[in-house]
Amino acid sequence: MWQIGALKDTVAQWRDIDKKAADIQEVISIGLSEHDESLKGDVAQEIDRMITRFDEIEVQLMLDGPYDARDAILAFHAGAGGTESQDWAQMLMRMFLRWAERRKFQAEVLDVSPGDEAGIKSATIEIKGNFAFGSLKSEHGVHRLVRLSPFDADHARHTSFALVEVMPEAEVKTDLQISPEDIRVDTFRSSGPGGQHMQKTSSAVRITHIPSGLVVSCQSERSQHQNKESALRVLYARLLEVEIEKREAEQAKIKGKRIDAGWGNQIRSYVLHPYKMVKDHRTEHETSNTGAVLDGEIDEFINAYLRSKVGEEK
């Protein structure tokens, strides 16, 4: 179904541009025939809007991967450093939720493991929207924060790390072959917030994929059924990610490429002290508007990454 929705949106975009282009041409014709100089400003504004739309479509045309049009599942993991890193992981989750809100995408928090004092130890969210995965795949990796600690009495400068995983939503019937016997479902009482109801009933769900050993748990919803559905979506996305990584590893052997992944390879630094700067270490794209970035304005980094990949052998 996501393929049909994506194609409909693409057709609608081109039809809208075609209509606007015809409108601009008509206004220009009227201005020329009536020698009306006052229309120049309106025409210039409309042309600027058209250029902006073309830039947006140019980026979308770069999203041609097999899973790019799909919804995305993001997992956040605080690095070593206790409260500092846990707070940073929560800041990152908020950044992506704000990004989704700006895009008018649907976002849902599937699971959260709260931090000891503040922030989160880990969390999983789902973002639904056309090309959500294609846009967000650039965000997969380790994110580094440098700031004066709000948790340190001496306000010393701290460096924190958090890992963001970005996975495409799986289409179970076409992407995976899973036997019901391969899945074990366990229920337990939620340990997170939610009041007496969650404490007294076994609404939390843990699902194990026996062949791979992958384990996913979810305890955010009051309903055991909702938690099971959410946990299955995350499990399927993780299994699909494993399959993708296997294929990429095989291609890397053939092409001689080296795949870099893991904690040793931070993709972006967010420096709040002694100066303000967000810098992507893959594209060298940077901005001093750290507040806007942390409030979800990350499209310039996404677009810079996509443009850097144009022409690469796939």
Q: Is the pLDDT of residue 100 over 80?
A: yes
Total-model pTM: 0.80
Same fold for the domain at 72-173+258-308 and the one at 175-255? Answer: no
Q: pLDDT tens for residues 155-176?
A: 789 999 999 999 999 988 788 8
- Alpha-carbon radius of gyration of the chain: 23
Is residue 239 over pLDDT 90? yes
Average pLDDT on 88-106 reads 97
Distance, CA of 252 to CA of 264 (rounded, Å): 20
Taking the domains of the chain in order of start, what are their residue ranges? 2-61, 72-173+258-308, 175-255
* Single-letter residue type at 16: D
Which pLDDT score is estimated for 261? 45
Condensed to tens digits (0 to 9), the pLDDT of residues 5-54 reads: 666 777 787 788 888 888 888 878 776 777 666 667 777 788 877 777 77
Residue 157 burial class via C-beta count within 10 angstroms: exposed 0-12, middle 13-18, buried 19 and up: middle
Architecture (CATH level 2) of domain 175-255: 2-Layer Sandwich (3.30)
Topology adopted by domain 72-173+258-308: Alpha-Beta Plaits (3.30.70)
- How confident is the model at residue 247, as a pLDDT? 86
The confidence band for 201, taking pLDDT boundaries of 50, 70 and 90, is: low
pLDDT of 252 above 50: yes
Q: What is the model's pLDDT at position 39?
A: 67
Given a cut of 60, whether residue 128 has pLDDT beyond it is: yes
Produce one character per residue of 60-91: b if its CB has 16 or more CB atoms within 10 Å, e if not: bebbebebbbbbbbbbbbbbebbbbbbbbbbb
Q: Residue 253: its pLDDT value, please? A: 67
pLDDT at res. 120 = 96
Task: Taking residues 208-237, report their average pLDDT.
Answer: 90
Give the phi and the psi of residue 109 in degrees, each rounded to 5. Answer: -85, 115
